[in-house]
Structure 1
Amino acid sequence: MDPPAIEHPRFAKPQRVAFVQACWHRDVVEEARIAFMKEAEARHLTHVDVFEVPGSFEIPLHAQILAKTRRYTAIVAAGLVVDGGIYRHEFVADTVIKALMDVQLRTEVPVFSAVLTPQQFHETEVHYDFFRRHFAIKGVEVAEACANTLLGLERLRGQVAAGIA
C-alpha cells in the first residue's frame, strides 16, 4: 500500500518559474530538471518554462534577463562545473554563484542554484551514474526550496502590505 500523498500548501496567486539549464553534461544535469518538474508540480508550481544555455557560466546573464521581465516569480539554475584540467573550475563555480546571488538581490526575484561543483568528476560510467542520481536528489531539493521560499515571500509581502511587518 502506498503512503498517503502529502498535500502541499497552495499559493494565493499563480507562480511562474524559469528553469535555466546548462547543456554541458546535459545527460547529468537534466536529471535535476526532470526531478524538479515532478516535485514542482506536486507543490503546485505548474507554470515552469525551461531555458537552455551552453554552460554554467552563461546562466547568470539569462537569469538576470528573465528576472527583469517580471514574468517569473522565481528562477532555478542547474549546471555542472567540472575540473577540466586547464583552469580552476572553482573560479567558474564561485563566479556563477555570486552572480546568481547578485541577480536575486538586485531584482528581488529569488534565484535557486543546482549548479554543482564536485571535487572530482571523471568521465566514467560510475561517476556519471553517481552524479545523475545526485542531480535527481538536488532537483527535488531545489523544488522544495523554491516552493517554500515563494510561499514565505507571498506571506511576507501580504504582511508588509497590511502593515504587519
Structure 2
Amino acid sequence: MNQYSSSLTSPGTPRIAVVSAGWHRDIVGQARQALRAELQAQGHPPDHVDEFEVPGAFEIPLHAQRLARSGRYRAIIACGLVVDGGIYRHEFVAGAVIDGLMRVQLDCDVPVFSAVLTPHHFHEHEEHQRYFAAHFVKKGQEVAQACLQTLRALQALQPLGA
C-alpha cells in the first residue's frame, strides 16, 4: 500500500485517497480494485490514487480525517466490511464509522465516500464469500462514479479564478 505521496495534485487532476479495512481483505479488496479500475476507465490517472490500509472499519474515520486535513487529497473513499459476529456490536460499529466519515467531510470540507458495508447475515462460508466479493465489485464501481461526479459538481461551485 502507498503511504503519503510526496507529489501534490496538479490543478486539473485531484488526488484521491482510499482507506481500506484489513479485516476481510479478500472481500474488501474487491471494492478497492473495482474502484481503481472504474476511476481509470473514467480517465482518472492511477498515480493520483493513494491507498492506505487500517486494521478494521472502526479505524477508518480517524485515518480519513488525517488524510483530509493533510491538504493532499480532494476526496477520500473508505472501504470496509462490518459483520455480525454473533454479538450485538456490529450495528454500533457501522453507525460509528458512517457518522465519523460524515463528520470528517463536514469538518474538513473534503468529500468522503463510503463503501463500508454491513451485510445483514454474513457467514464465512463459500457462498457468502462469493456473493459479497461480487457485491463489493459493484459497490467499488458505484463509489468511484459517485466520487468523480461529486468532484465535478463541487468544482462547478467554485468561484471563478479559484
Asked if Structure 1 and Structure 2 have the same fold, meaning a TM-score greater than 0.5 normalized by the shorter chain, the answer is yes
**Percent sequence identity over matched residues?**
59
- 1 CA distance for matches of 2:99 and 2:135? 23
Gapped regions of structure 1 (runs ≥ 5): 1-10
Query: Which residue of 2 is the match for residue 4 of structure 1?
Result: none
Greater radius of gyration (CA): 1
RMSD between aligned residues = 1.6
1:88 partnered with 2:89:
yes
- 1 CA distance for matches of 2:11 and 2:42? 13
Matched positions, count: 151
Query: Which residue of 2 is the match for residue 129 of structure 1?
Result: 130
| TM-score normalised to structure 1 length | 0.88
Query: Which residue of 2 is the match for residue 109 of structure 1?
Result: 110
Q: After the TM superposition, which segments of 4 or more aligned residues of structure 1 sit over 6 Å from their partners?
A: none
- 1 CA distance for matches of 2:72 and 2:104? 15
SS in 2 for 1:121: coil
- 2 CA distance for matches of 1:145 and 1:21? 17
SS in 1 for 2:96: helix
Query: Which residue of 2 is the match for residue 65 of structure 1?
Result: 66
1:142-165 Cα shifts (integer Å, max 9, x gaps)? 0000000001111111xx347xxx
1:26 partnered with 2:25:
yes
SS in 2 for 1:13: coil
The 8 Å contact of residues 17 and 45 in structure 1, kept in 2 or not, is answered as: no
Query: Which residue of 1 is the match for residue 52 of structure 2?
Result: 51
- 1 CA distance for matches of 2:136 and 2:51? 16
Cα distance, 1:88 vs. partner?
A: 2.0
Amino acid at match of 2:58: F
SS in 1 for 2:39: helix
Cα distance, 1:12 vs. partner?
A: 6.7
SS in 2 for 1:103: helix
Amino acid at match of 1:147: L
Gapped regions of structure 2 (runs ≥ 5): 1-9
